[in-house]
Amino acid sequence: MNFLSSLLGNLNYGTVFLLMLLESTVIPVPSELVVAPAAYHSAAGNLDVWLVIFFATLGADCGATINYLAGYYLGRPIIYRFANSRWGHFCMLNQKKVEKSENYFNDHGMAATITGRLIPGIRHLISIPAGLSKMTFWKFLLYTTLGAGCWNCILAALGWYLHTMVPEEMLNDKIMEYGEYIKVGICSIVAVALLYFLAKSLIKRRKKIETED
């Protein structure tokens, strides 16, 4: 934890990449406290915000790929065994969380790899069921990049905005406060979008049945 705290206190392109890689595996690193503060410093002229987003997304891709490969090659029994182990619990992981991400993936298909990157509690685990289902790697990587890129842009915009109104000593508290609103908003948007596509699919299926009759 001291190692992570040291990295969080010394944000640059390399530490942003590394922390986001860890966040996309099973290490409990809050992405809000990585990308948003880095963007905050970008607004002060210390970093380039576009490079922050790039390295954050690259790190997320690499971390997600580790989870994907673990699911692809290790399989469900070993993944569950790790989730239920002491190390799994140390990483704030358990079988229920893995099953939740699997259910979300199974319910929403490959699109879950995009939308799942925006949802708390699922974001860092959605790559595991993608690997378990043997999803094509290049599709997985594309969807992961889109989802992680969107999330990192949102966090970067938050950090840039807070630079205009919050002193640095209050930054993390404000990020977590605004972060809750963002999470609720994103979950609502994703839920509405999924309901829309579900309704559209059902209507299309019904019309097809009526045409065949």
pLDDT one-digit tens code per residue, 180-203: 777 777 667 767 766 776 777 777
* Token duo for residue 72: 């692809």
Q: What is the distance between the alpha carbons of residues 127 and 55, in angstroms, rounded to a whole number?
A: 19
Written as one letter, the residue type at 42 is: S
**pLDDT for 100-111, tens place per residue?**
888 878 776 777
In the predicted model, what is the mean pLDDT of the chain? 83
* Token duo for residue 59: 């790190």
* Token duo for residue 78: 């070993």
Of 11-15, 40-44, 65-69, 181-185, minimum mean pLDDT range: 181-185
C-beta of residue 152 within 8 angstroms of C-beta of residue 51: no
Q: Which of 120, 167, 144, 119 is nearest to 59 (CA)?
A: 144
What is the secondary structure of 72-126 as a DSSP string?
A: HHH-HHHHHHHHTSHHHHHTT--HHHHHHHHHHHHHHGGGHHHHGGGSTTTTTTT
Element (H, E) at 19: helix 13-23
Q: What is the distance between the alpha carbons of residues 56 and 34, in angstroms, rounded to a whole number?
A: 8
| Alpha carbon 199 to its chain's center | 26
**Mean per-residue pLDDT, 81-89:** 82
- Spell out the residues 6+ positions from residue 41 whose beta carbon is closer than 8 angstroms to its own: 11, 47
What pLDDT does residue 190 have?
A: 67
What pLDDT does residue 4 have?
A: 66
**Mean per-residue pLDDT, 117-126:** 77
Whole-number CA gyration radius for the chain: 19
C-beta of residue 22 within 8 angstroms of C-beta of residue 63: yes
What pLDDT does residue 194 have?
A: 67
pLDDT exceeds 70 at position 3: no
Angle subtended at Cα 80 by Cα 78 and Cα 81, rounded to the nearest 5 degrees: 60
**pLDDT for 130-183, tens place per residue?**
888 888 899 899 999 998 998 999 999 999 999 988 888 888 888 888 777 777
Q: Would you give the end-to-end CA distance of the chain in angstroms? A: 64
* Token duo for residue 43: 């607004």
Q: Which of 92, 95, 131, 94 is nearest to 113 (CA)?
A: 131
